Amino acid sequence: MKRKFGLSTIITLFVCIVVLVSLLVTDILISTSTSERIQESEEEKALLVSRTVAESSIVAESLAAGEPTEEIQAYTNEVQSITELLFVVVMDMEAIRYTHPTPERIGLPFAGGDEEEVLEGEEYVSISEGTLGESLRAFTPIYDDFGNQLGAVVVGISLENVDLALQENHWNIVNGSLVGIIVGILGALLLAGYIKRILFGLEPYEISKLLEERSAMLQSVHEGIVAVDEQQKITLVNQSALQLFRQAGLPEQPIGMKITDFMPNTKLDRVMETEDAERDEEQTLNGIAILTNREPIIVNGEVVGAIATFRDKTEVNQLAQQLTGVKTYIEALRAQTHEFMNRLHVILGMVQMEAYDELIEFIRKIIDLKKQDADIVTKRVKDPVLAGFFMGKMSYARERNVTFIISPETKISRELDVGISKELITIIGNLVDNAIESLANTLEKEISLEIIEKEDKLQITVADNGPGISRENVKQIFEKGFSTKGTNRGFGLYLMKQSMEKLNGTFEVDSNEEGTIFKVEVEHITKGKEEEDDD
């Protein structure tokens, strides 16, 4: 069996190699950079001294007199001693030395062969070999008060001194590198021990085995699973999730994508921000309804990602929508039945009291009212499902002592598709029911409904004269479970919003102390238009 190295050994060796290579490269780079800086510093020092000497009146006067003097020699010797330079030489325009560290060489031509340019008025630095050996030289021209060049000054620094400075700096770098290597080795050992502890003492091959087992388990789970990291990028998707994504027409390789780019309507980003789990939430993937649970992944008090598990709930959602429509029909029939029973009780009382004239008048009013309701609805709404629904809501409103007005502008000129009617019943029914409930403490209770056809759209307006909705609550009324009327409420407007989204609808809410107006605009398909599309 092939021997496997332990995690501690691998980390220690790897860190040591990295530290050694890093320090070697650093040593080379710093040495090169420091050498350049030292040489530049020496050049600047030499130029500064040469410029200072060139500005001296003692030097200018001696050159103007045309002969070396003891003053100029003493001055340059003092400058050389103070600045620790190799030499300070003053020459005239014929390159004849006026000063020199060796007095015997005063009066002789300057040696080195690099003085020609300074006698032409240029200032520069060069490296050359003279009577005192190889040196770094700074040349500066000397002028009188009238701008005439009298000669030049040359300042020299021994290259041996420069090399010594470089070597001293290099040894400092080497010593620092050795300290770095020792610290790196100690750090590698500590790091290896720390990683070993946080991995519960597991070796790499043991971790890989656990990963394989985890992957097999995740792929065998029937529910879809998606996990994201702290940057909201997808890190895990199992086969069940991929199968559902294929059905929804989403990319089949989402790993590495940002979750909001892959599924714009995801709520995993919100879960990571709020750190609150969301359970049994409905979500739509390109028309496929799913039921999902979302959990933030928290490690040591910090959110490091999130995970969502979900399953296909299309059939359940469709059944729920159908039940919602059936419930609406039942409520309408219940209201009509209740109203009819109340009137039967009145009729029975009048018969027992033998108030036949009043009974005739009462029945006539009932007939006229029903006929009036039927005329209003049937003339303006040609869809029988919606027409029956409106009549039921009118009865329900009368039962609650609410005046329900259908605007004269209301018009549905053709029979609608059954699916569209069902969604409209959910939208209008919830808006009307909420409006009726909001009028509980209002004296003059009034609701108006207006439906206007605009080509392939329906504009629905429901208004009431209730107390209105606060600005804070307007932002939350469509959230699932949000209600100011107690627990186990807050599903009506949530379902209404889902129906509205299925019809590509938009909405506006205008609410104040004088009432609330909901405006909804949705797409609709009539049976006639659907048949034309089929043809």
* Residue whose entry in the numeric block shows the structure tokens 């390159």: 95
DSSP at 103 = G
CB-neighbour burial class of residue 378 (10 A; exposed 0-12, middle 13-18, buried 19+): middle
Nearest CA to 149 among 117, 106, 108? 117
Are 151 and 98 spatial neighbours (Cβ–Cβ below 8 Å)?
yes
Q: Does the domain formed by 221-312 have CATH 3.30.450.20?
A: yes
| 444: DSSP letter | S
Q: Is-contact 475 497, C-beta < 8 A?
A: no
Domains 11-165 and 221-312 share a fold: yes
pLDDT tops 90 at residue 141 = yes
CA pair distance 523, 493, nearest whole angstrom: 19
- pLDDT number for residue 531: 44
* Tens digits of residue pLDDT in 48-66: 989 988 888 888 888 888 8
Weakest mean pLDDT among 14-23, 211-220, 424-433: 211-220
Residue 321 has pLDDT above 60, yes or no: no
The answer to whether the beta carbons of residues 110 and 98 sit under 8 Å apart is: no
| pLDDT of 331 above 70 | no
Report the run of H or E that residue 310 belongs to, with start and end.
Answer: strand 302-312
**pLDDT for the residue 152:** 92
Q: Out of 76-90, 277-291, 317-331, give the one with best mean pLDDT.
A: 76-90
The pLDDT of 330-342, averaged and rounded, is: 62
Residue 303, φ and ψ in degrees, nearest 5: -80, 120
Mean pLDDT, rounded, for 132-144: 84
DSSP E strands, 99-201: 124-130, 133-143, 149-158
Contact between residue 292 and residue 305 where contact means Cβ atoms under 8 Å apart: no
Instruction: Say whether pLDDT at 288 is over 60.
Output: yes
Superfamily of domain covering 11-165: PAS domain (3.30.450.20)
Q: Does residue 204 register a pLDDT over 60?
A: yes
What is the separation, in whole angstroms, between the first and last Cα of the chain?
73
H/E stretch holding 373 reads: helix 356-380
Q: Is 97 helix (H, G, I), strand (E, B) or coil?
A: strand
User: What is the C-alpha separation between 403 and 321, in angstroms, rounded?
Assistant: 29
**Where residue 135 falls among pLDDT bands split at 50, 70, 90?**
confident
| pLDDT computed for residue 240 by the predictor | 81
Spell out a b/e string for 141-163, using b for 16 or more CB atoms within 10 Å of the CB, else e: bbeeeeeebbbbbbbbbbbeebe
* pLDDT, tens digit, 9 for 90 and up, residues 439-483: 888 888 899 989 888 877 888 899 998 888 877 777 777 776 666
CA-to-CA separations, 202 to 13, 196, 209, in angstroms, rounded? 18, 7, 11
Is the pLDDT higher at 283 or at 327?
A: 283
* Mean of the per-residue pLDDT values of the chain: 78
Beta-bridge mates of residue 312: 290
Per-residue pLDDT, 6: 67
Predicted pLDDT at 525: 59
How far apart, in whole angstroms, are the C-alpha atoms of residue 497 and residue 12?
Answer: 60
Number of Cβ atoms within 10 Å of the Cβ of 302: 9
Domain extent listing, the chain:
11-165, 221-312, 317-534
- Return the higher-pLDDT residue of 83 and 167: 83
Question: Candidates 3.40.50.300, 3.30.465.10, 3.30.565.10, 1.10.1240.10; correct CATH number of 317-534?
Answer: 3.30.565.10
What is the spatial distance between Cα 407 and Cα 410, in angstroms, rounded to a whole number?
5
> pLDDT, tens digit, for every residue of 502-518?
888 888 888 888 888 98
Kind plus residue range of the DSSP H or E element containing 35: helix 7-54
Confidence band (pLDDT; 50, 70, 90) for 140? very high
Instruction: Please report which helix (H) or strand (E) contains residue 131, including its range.
Output: none
pTM of the shown model: 0.39
> Is the pLDDT higher at 498 or at 306?
306
3 state SS of 492 = helix
3-state SS record for 214-257:
HHHHHHHCCCEEEEEECCCEEEEECHHHHHHHHHHCCCCCCCCC
pLDDT tens figures, 76-95: 888 888 888 888 999 998 88
Tokens 């309804």, residue located: 289
Q: Report residue 535's pLDDT band, with 50, 70 and 90 as the boundaries.
A: very low
pLDDT of 395 reads 76
Order of strands across the sheet with 403-406?
403-406, 446-454, 457-464, 515-523, 506-512
What is the C-alpha to C-alpha distance for residues 134 and 420, in angstroms, rounded to an integer?
Answer: 99
Q: Look at 144 and 5; give whichever has higher pLDDT.
A: 144
Give mean pLDDT, residues 40-47.
84
- DSSP 8-state class, residue 488: S
Give the E-state strand segments of 97-241 in sequence order: 124-130, 133-143, 149-158, 224-229, 234-237
